[in-house]
Amino acid sequence: MSSADGRVRVWRRRGERLDPVNVIQRDRYGGGSVMVLAGIYHNGKAELITVAGNLMSQKYCDEIIEPVVVLFMKQHDVTLFRQDNACPRTARYTQDAIRRIIVQVLPWPDRSPDISPIGNLWDHLGRQV
């Protein structure tokens, strides 16, 4: 039975609580995800990078920073790097790797969306669509 509150109710006899016929399997979180990362600089943009699964600090350094970001910065003579304060990017492991590899990191103030160029990009994209 379903009701106005969206809850599903099942009528069952005593002892039938976990019978397979009374159990409804649901995926509450949409099942799986893909993270998309991109980079922009004064003269253009970097390639879009997709990362399957969870992005932890070591995976971020091994799969994004060292092979992609450092190579991109060298190819385009970029000396300043900026990223947001997401957990994989603020972890001690990541911070140590970035200090070791990259010349200068621009700090990102906490809760400061005003210096984020991506907000303006989404706004422009929304108006174009």
- Note the pLDDT tens digit of each residue in 25-83: 766 665 567 778 878 777 888 888 888 878 888 888 888 888 888 888 888 888 888 78
Return the pLDDT at 7: 72
Q: How are beta strands 40-41 and 80-82 bridged, if at all?
A: unpaired
What pLDDT, on the 0 to 100 scale, is given for residue 19? 79
> How many domains does the chain fold into?
1
93 lies in some domain: yes
**Per the domain annotation, does 126 fall within a domain?**
no
Rounded distance between C-alpha atoms, residue 36 and residue 1, angstroms = 40
pLDDT, position 71: 87
Q: What is the CA radius of gyration of the chain?
A: 23
Q: What is the pLDDT of residue 43?
A: 81
Instruction: Say what the pLDDT of residue 117 is.
Output: 64
Position 27 in a domain: no
The answer to whether residues 104 and 79 touch, using CB atoms and an 8 Å cutoff, is yes
Range of the domain at 53: 34-109
Q: Burial, 5: exposed, middle or buried (Cβ in 10 Å; 0-12, 13-18, 19+)?
A: exposed
Give 74-113 pLDDT, tens digit per residue: 888 888 887 877 777 888 888 888 888 876 777 777 666 5
Kindly state whether residue 8 falls inside one of the protein's structural domains: no
Beta bridge partners of 40: 45
- Global confidence as pTM: 0.56
State the pLDDT at residue 2.
Answer: 54
Residue 120 in any domain: the answer is no
Give the residue among 24, 30, 25, 26 at the shortest CA–CA distance from 10: 24
The answer to whether residue 2 is domain-embedded is no
Instruction: Give the per-residue pLDDT at 110.
Output: 66
Beta bridge partners of 6: none
- CA–CA distance, 21 with 66 (Å, rounded to integer): 51
Task: Give the Cα separation of 117 and 21 in Å (integer).
Answer: 52
Q: Is residue 89 part of a domain?
A: yes
The confidence score (pLDDT) of residue 114 equals 57
